[in-house]
């Protein structure tokens, strides 16, 4: 078989049987081999970035490694944003790029020129910082070894994307021998016994414990064991956004998602704990805020993670850390003795959940007599199937989505670390292609939706029944809210200086169904049960805010709109987070939850 045919057979053997492509001269042989293989299929995209985002969705949806193929030069470089999505969120994906014939390359001529062959680009050097492994193969034996090595690396330890660059001459050469398959790589970590002892020691004196559930639990496939442990131990827990998809959010011990846009009750509980156990979360600044010194100031924080580099960053924070292969987490938790929880803490946790869980509302929409994005998301949550796949984009929309959506058996995800505009549409296509039996909903803002709008043709071409919800506030809402706080409400480039199309006309141009939504009652079950794609244009006021939202300089338990002194004190019952005199000067005592857009 040729090198191209070898790649196709390898993909079939490992079960990555769908490839997302945009063709070109340097990858045409490989895509042709995919088309000719009886166990493989391909989907064409109109931009390689979209193909990479679709591949990112494959693991999140099915637990299989997503695959792209792209040509050299601009085809390969266009993959970069999607590859970064997978890298920052620890999602395994395999990107196979074509490269110019080696005899045409700059290395062959022995000169350090910028480019020798047409569209020759050193893609391996470009993507190394955002991949676990990237390599250009130079012989057919290289291809056999490096394809297996790259796949193994992608799916082992802390998972992530890999790239294999294949020159055209290697694609056409004959390869003798059988397929070399990937093997599971051992993870260097502490022993399960050592981590068990460390966690037991941390919890031994805990009276106000909280567990922070991170995506690493689900990525390792151990979510059921962790839920069983939390249930048996009666430990209250909170979650990162990326962790929400891995458990039923109606669990009685669950208090909500935390962070800058977190649930107030969940943030209060975490900030008032005396021990915080972090399982598989990297605690980025959207969780701890830009000032990590204000995070859980009264607690002993113990972070358990598969990536030792993530643990090293806590040296100056005084956190306890454990380096664990999360496949061993069930064994560890089985042997960790649960703490004795104070009754006052149990009562407090119940109070915080009763007061804040599921109670998010848009005071700005109420004042403006406009549609509330929270009501829209709740309505969608009620109407779609319990196993539906819901993909969030970025900006205000992804905040509204994660603040109120409650996972039952749904799959809920976004590209949380890279968070590019335009992610949801191609990711939803990828999800629908590999899980055609499930409902798929893409939730985007009007600005973000436009960045990969060309993929409406991909949806139309395959008549994919994807519901595309566009939260249309005629602006970049999250930037406007930032400008309200720090730029005296000058909406430069967030509203002023750009425009967006009529989405009804746009849907008609692509031959896609369209519904204009001006009230919650207009969102009906049939919109999600059709046999083809539909665009739901949800009309919001441009002044609709994210509520609550942290502002710079405050701890995560003191979000805007600001609570009254009495309610703030009630939430901080165990640990004091004082508001400075300078800060108090900016608060309007008569209306602590004021809306800065009241005069807009």
Planar angle of CA 436, 442, 444, nearest 5 degrees: 165
Ranges assigned E (strand) in 326-415: 389-392, 411-413
User: What is the SS3 assignment for 86?
Assistant: helix
HEC profile for 42-72? Answer: EEECCCHHHHHHHHHHHHHHHCCCEEEEECC
Please give the pLDDT value at position 232: 96
Q: Which of 99-113, 192-206, 425-439, 527-541 has the lowest mean pLDDT?
A: 99-113
With beta carbons less than 8 A apart as the criterion, state whether 100 and 26 touch.
yes
Rounded distance between C-alpha atoms, residue 216 and residue 223, angstroms:
9
pLDDT digits (tens, 9 = 90+) for 218-258: 999 999 999 999 999 999 999 999 999 999 999 999 999 99
* Cβ-Cβ contacts under 8 Å for 27 (sequence gap 6 or more): 21, 69, 70, 71, 72, 75, 96, 97, 98
Q: What pTM does this model have?
A: 0.95
Structural domains in the chain plus CATH codes: 3-172 (3.40.50.970), 192-356 (3.40.50.1220), 363-539 (3.40.50.970)
Give the pLDDT confidence of 50-99 residue by residue, as tens digits: 999 999 999 999 999 999 999 999 999 999 999 999 999 999 999 999 99
- Residue 481, sorted as left (phi over 0), alpha (psi -120 to 50) or beta, turns out to be alpha
The residues near 307 (Cβ < 8 Å, ≥ 6 apart) are 157, 158, 282
Mean pLDDT confidence for 344-349:
98
572 vs 555: CA distance, rounded Å: 12
Residues in the chain: 600
Q: What are the angstrom distances between the C-alpha of 280 and each of 158, 305, 306? A: 10, 5, 7
Query: Once rounded to an integer, what is the mean pLDDT over residues 426-453?
Result: 97
């Amino acid at each position: 078989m040729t090198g191209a045919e070898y790649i196709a057979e390898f993909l079939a053997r490992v079960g990555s049987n769908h490839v997302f492509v945009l063709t070109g001269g340097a990858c045409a042989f490989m895509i042709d081999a995919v088309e000719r293989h009886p166990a493989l299929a391909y989907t064409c995209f109109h931009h390689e970035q979209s193909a990479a985002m679709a591949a990112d969705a494959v693991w999140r949806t099915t637990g299989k490694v997503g695959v792209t193929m792209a040509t050299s030069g601009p085809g390969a470089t266009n993959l970069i944003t999607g590859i970064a999505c997978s890298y920052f969120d620890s999602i395994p994906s395999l990107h196979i790029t074509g490269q110019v014939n080696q005899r045409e390359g700059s290395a062959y001529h022995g000169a350090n020129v910028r480019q020798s062959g047409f569209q020759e680009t050193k893609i391996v050097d470009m993507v190394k910082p955002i991949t676990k492994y990237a390599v250009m193969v130079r012989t057919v034996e290289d291809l056999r070894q490096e394809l297996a090595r790259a796949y193994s690396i992608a799916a082992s330890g802390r998972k992530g994307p890999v790239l294999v660059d294949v020159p055209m001459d290697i694609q056409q050469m004959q390869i003798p021998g059988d397929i070399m398959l990937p093997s599971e790589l051992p993870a260097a970590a502490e022993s399960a016994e050592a981590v068990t002892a460390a966690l037991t020691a941390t919890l031994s004196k805990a009276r106000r414990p909280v567990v922070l559930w991170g995506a690493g639990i689900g990525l390792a496939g151990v979510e059921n064991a962790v839920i069983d442990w939390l249930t048996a131990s009666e430990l209250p827990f909170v979650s990162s956004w990326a962790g929400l998809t891995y458990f039923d959010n109606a669990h009685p011990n669950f208090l909500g998602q935390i962070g800058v846009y977190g649930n107030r009750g969940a943030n209060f509980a975490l900030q008032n704990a005396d021990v915080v156990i972090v399982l598989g979360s990297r605690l980025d600044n959207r969780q701890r805020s830009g000032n990590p010194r204000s995070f859980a100031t009264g607690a002993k924080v113990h972070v358990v993670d598969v990536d030792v580099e993530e643990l090293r960053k806590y040296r100056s924070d005084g956190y306890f850390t454990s380096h664990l292969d999360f496949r061993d987490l069930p064994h560890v938790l089985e042997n960790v003795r649960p703490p004795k929880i104070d009754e006052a803490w149990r009562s407090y946790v119940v109070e915080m959940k009763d007061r804040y869980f599921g109670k998010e509302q848009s005071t700005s929409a109420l004042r403006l007599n406009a549609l509330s994005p929270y009501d829209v998301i709740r309505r969608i949550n009620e109407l779609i199937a319990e196993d539906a796949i819901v993909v969030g984009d970025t900006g205000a929309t992804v905040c509204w989505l994660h603040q109120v959506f409650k996972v039952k058996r749904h799959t809920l995800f976004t590209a949380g670390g890279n968070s590019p505009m335009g992610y949801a549409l191609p990711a939803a296509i990828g999800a629908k292609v590999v899980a055609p039996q499930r409902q798929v909903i893409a939730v985007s803002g009007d600005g973000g939706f436009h960045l990969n709008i060309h993929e409406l043709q991909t949806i139309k071409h395959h008549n994919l029944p994807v519901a595309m919800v566009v939260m249309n506030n005629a602006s970049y809402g999250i930037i406007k809210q930032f400008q309200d706080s720090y730029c005296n409400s000058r909406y430069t480039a967030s509203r002023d200086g750009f425009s967006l199309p009529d989405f009804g006309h746009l849907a008609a141009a692509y031959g896609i169904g369209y519904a204009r939504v001006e009230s919650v009652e207009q969102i009906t079950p049939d919109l999600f049960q059709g046999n083809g794609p539909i665009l739901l244009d949800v009309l919001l006021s441009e002044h609709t805010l994210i509520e609550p939202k942290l502002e710079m300089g405050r701890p995560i338990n003191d979000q805007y709109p600001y609570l009254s002194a009495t309610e703030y004190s009630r939430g901080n019952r165990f640990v004091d987070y004082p508001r400075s005199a300078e800060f108090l000067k900016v608060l309007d005592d008569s209306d602590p939850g004021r809306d800065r857009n009241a005069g807009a």
